[in-house]
Structure 1
Amino acid sequence: MILQGKSAKSPLSWINPAEGTLMSKTWISSIFFAVKFIVGDSMLKKAILVILILTSLFLAMFISYSKNGIQPTFVSATDQSELCNDVLIMLLRPTIQQGVDDYYKRYLTETPGVGSDSVKISDIRKSSDGGYDITVNVLPYYGPHNSVGKDQMLLYVTENS
């Protein structure tokens, strides 16, 4: 049996020139006929079996990984406290940077930076009027390791500020 391409319209369609009949019109059938042509009838069943097994394994791994990726993550109480502390520092950082800028502009030509890792909350107290007094320790810096001082700031946070 000799296989050849039918026409430029459908290069994946194969015909049997002896009978003039169409053997396949799909990608999958074309692949199976190509495997049959290359390896012969005896190996075709083995090749199909290997392809099916590999496809099944791939789908099983994909489904397993996608289900495991959706599992909820539980955070311990200490981790939760650290996360709240980090979020509070992130929210206060623009105000802290403004305070550092206002203070150091009198002494330096460039204002030092303030990163989240250079701010530590030392105390939080609730005020009688409903606001919060937050004391932070700040290490403003130039470059990667050039600290310009150790500062303590008192921030007053209210619902309207």
Structure 2
Amino acid sequence: MKRLILFMTLFLALSILFPNPISAKGSDVTTDSRELMVHDALMLFLLDPLDKAIGNYYSKMLLEIPTVYPYDIKMIDTKRVAGFRSFHFTFTLEVEPVIGPHISVGKDRLTFEISPLLPEQVKLTKYKHLKTYELPLNWKHLVKPYRD
């Protein structure tokens, strides 16, 4: 009995101290849940600034601007900037933009700041291109020629 109580206390303490980050990929996406609804709503809110950042980066190398689908956005980190119950957040997302029939062109990590004190309420604070994927032969015509 003491072991069970000790185990339950330890499990509860670890669950509180090390909660899982919000991630639709790590959750059961076959049924709706409160976590999945909040994740999807947040991704819709961030989709426009995310598309602008992706378009700005990839327009330098591709003739077609890649698409990011809200269900393919992975939440890496979430923080409250000013502490408990503040409404100033940072969200770090990882995306794989695609062209055509879901052909991944790269992998990127973006950090957004969200606050009612920001003029647009959403601000891109960091953009890191992690990986570039080579396009299949029949899609290479979309790659811009290299110039010095």
TM-score (normalised: structure 1): 0.49
Q: Deviations along 1:70-112, whole A, 9 cap, x unmatched?
A: xxxxxxxx81011101100011111110110111111111110
Quote the residue 1:59 is aligned against: none
Structure 2 counterpart of 1:90, one-letter code? L
Q: Does 1:151 align with 2:108?
A: yes
Question: Is the 2:40–2:71 Cα contact (8 Å) retained in structure 1?
Answer: no
Quote the residue 1:18 is aligned against: none
Matches within 5 A, 1:29-108: 79-108=33-62
Gapped regions of structure 2 (runs ≥ 5): 1-31, 122-148
Q: Does 1:142 align with 2:99?
A: yes
Quote the residue 1:31 is aligned against: none
Question: Is the 2:96–2:104 Cα contact (8 Å) retained in structure 1?
Answer: yes
Q: 2:72 aligns with which of 105, 111, 118?
A: 118
Q: Between Structure 1 and Structure 2, how many residues are aligned?
A: 84
Quote the residue 1:67 is aligned against: none
Residues in 1 aligned to 2:72 and 2:58: alpha-carbon distance in whole angstroms: 16
Residues in 2 aligned to 1:108 and 1:90: alpha-carbon distance in whole angstroms: 25
TM-score (normalised: structure 2): 0.53
Deviation at 1:128, TM superposition (A): 2.5
% same residue: 26
Deviation at 1:134, TM superposition (A): 0.3
Deviation at 1:121, TM superposition (A): 1.2
Structure 2 counterpart of 1:81, one-letter code? E
- 4+ residue segments displaced more than 4 Å: none
Gapped regions of structure 1 (runs ≥ 5): 1-77
Q: Deviations along 1:29-81, whole A, 9 cap, x unmatched?
A: xxxxxxxxxxxxxxxxxxxxxxxxxxxxxxxxxxxxxxxxxxxxxxxxx8101
Greater helix percent: which structure?
1
Residues in 2 aligned to 1:149 and 1:118: alpha-carbon distance in whole angstroms: 13
Quote the residue 2:90 is aligned against: 133
Quote the residue 2:126 is aligned against: none
